[in-house]
Copies of this chain bind each other. A is one copy, B any other.
């Protein structure tokens, strides 16, 4: 193995770096006429799209971590370790879900970089959903990704020793800290990093910052995030971490990966769909549409994603237990105990999913990091209406997270706060 000292790549030296790698020589027929674009949308890292101008099918993405938070600069140090987490997670996900994550061509721990498939025919899902596009395979693909990654990294499948070794290897101190602060703490304590829409009422903000029951519930979710080492999570599973087109769905950017509670990944995804739902009351009307159809699609996708996730997870679990002499709970002597456990287990994952989704929804309204679905609504009053609906839903979800018995009750809650056809 060729050991190389770390250096930060830039537009001028990417080509020379790549031309030395056998893995790149296998993809590129030449390195003398490359188009190299530095893509500015990475908050954390530098991302280059490299394409052979002579043969545009020869194209890759190169992503390199720098020892600071890219969006802030060198004043916010952040170790390059995060790239190891991303590569480890990508490889794990790719083994289980080929075609649902970008293919890795090359990675280097020394250089803190990965070179992978350029998803040039796909777009970030959030942007597409903002535009009102539909994705017929989304629920199927995402539920497969979640079921496989969460089941196969859990104690229900892995040996007790391998699971614990994985937990140790995937401890991700710095990126978990970002979530701990910006998802679970700052938004709820009126932190100076928070950003509020001027049109958002003080009452709405107070309802999530000054209500003891809600604050206690959020703190419990934060504690669960920090202590429940269930599965190797993606860790940042919102709809900006998905690229899709009509046929394919790719989950990208797993640098926040660590062993955490299953419901955190599922909740991040579902919570973001609810945020989109609230945004499309206004957005669809702006586009001249009756909001009913698209908003109905969003709720349907959210529900299907959960229902199919649960089905697929249970299917994997039952199939595994049928093949092993030592199922997690021990032998099922009466023939009903294994299913009783599975049912209790999924109930707990569901409650966690709801609690985490709620945190993710509320933090996107008052915290530093917004979602464009809502934050980019040009009309401040309309934006505030979507925001207040999101906060209302987040409150109900987290306070009653143990009481929901099916996803359809969440759909009912969303439509009771804001009818599918719009204008509450």
Chain A residues within 8 Å of B, Cβ to Cβ = 155, 160-161, 163-165, 167-168, 171, 173, 176-177, 180, 185-186, 188-191, 209-213, 215-220, 222-223, 226-230, 328-334, 336-337, 339-341, 343-345, 348
- Are B337 and A226 touching (Cβ within 8 A)? no
User: Could you tell me the distance between the alpha carbons of A398 and B140 in the complex, rounded to whole angstroms?
Assistant: 37
| A344-B217, A344-B220 given; A227·B330 CB < 8 A | no
Contacts of A180 in B (CB 8 A): 160
A196 to chain B minimum Cβ distance, whole angstroms, is 14
A358 to chain B minimum Cβ distance, whole angstroms, is 15
- Are A190 and B336 touching (Cβ within 8 A)? no
Contact of A330 among B176, B188, B230, B339 (CB under 8 A): B188
Interface of chain A: mostly helix, strand, loop or mixed: helix
A188 to chain B minimum Cβ distance, whole angstroms, is 6
- Are A212 and B345 touching (Cβ within 8 A)? no
A56 to chain B minimum Cβ distance, whole angstroms, is 44
A290 to chain B minimum Cβ distance, whole angstroms, is 41
User: Could you tell me the distance between the alpha carbons of A161 and B180 in the complex, rounded to whole angstroms?
Assistant: 12
User: Could you tell me the distance between the alpha carbons of A343 and B212 in the complex, rounded to whole angstroms?
Assistant: 11
Contacts of A229 in B (CB 8 A): 167, 227-229
A215 to chain B minimum Cβ distance, whole angstroms, is 4
User: Could you tell me the distance between the alpha carbons of A189 and B223 in the complex, rounded to whole angstroms?
Assistant: 33
User: Could you tell me the distance between the alpha carbons of A40 and B382 in the complex, rounded to whole angstroms?
Assistant: 77
Contact of A160 among B163, B226, B332, B339 (CB under 8 A): B226
- Are A176 and B189 touching (Cβ within 8 A)? no
| A155-B227, A216-B344, A227-B229 given; A171·B176 CB < 8 A | no
Contacts of A339 in B (CB 8 A): 212
A327 to chain B minimum Cβ distance, whole angstroms, is 9
- Are A330 and B161 touching (Cβ within 8 A)? no
Contacts of A211 in B (CB 8 A): 334, 337
Contact of A334 among B155, B161, B186, B210 (CB under 8 A): B210
A-B contact pairs, 21 of them (CB 8 A): A155-B226, A160-B180, A164-B171, A165-B171, A167-B168, A168-B168, A168-B171, A185-B330, A191-B330, A211-B337, A212-B339, A212-B340, A213-B340, A215-B332, A215-B334, A216-B337, A219-B329, A219-B330, A219-B345, A220-B348, A222-B328
Contacts of A329 in B (CB 8 A): 185, 188-189, 215-216, 218-219, 222
A352 to chain B minimum Cβ distance, whole angstroms, is 12
Contact of A223 among B190, B216, B345 (CB under 8 A): B345
User: Could you tell me the distance between the alpha carbons of A409 and B211 in the complex, rounded to whole angstroms?
Assistant: 30
Report the nearest B residue to A186, measured CB to CB.
B330
- Are A220 and B161 touching (Cβ within 8 A)? no
Contacts of A227 in B (CB 8 A): 155, 228-230
User: Could you tell me the distance between the alpha carbons of A126 and B128 in the complex, rounded to whole angstroms?
Assistant: 67
- Are A212 and B334 touching (Cβ within 8 A)? yes
User: Could you tell me the distance between the alpha carbons of A163 and B190 in the complex, rounded to whole angstroms?
Assistant: 26
User: Could you tell me the distance between the alpha carbons of A215 and B171 in the complex, rounded to whole angstroms?
Assistant: 32
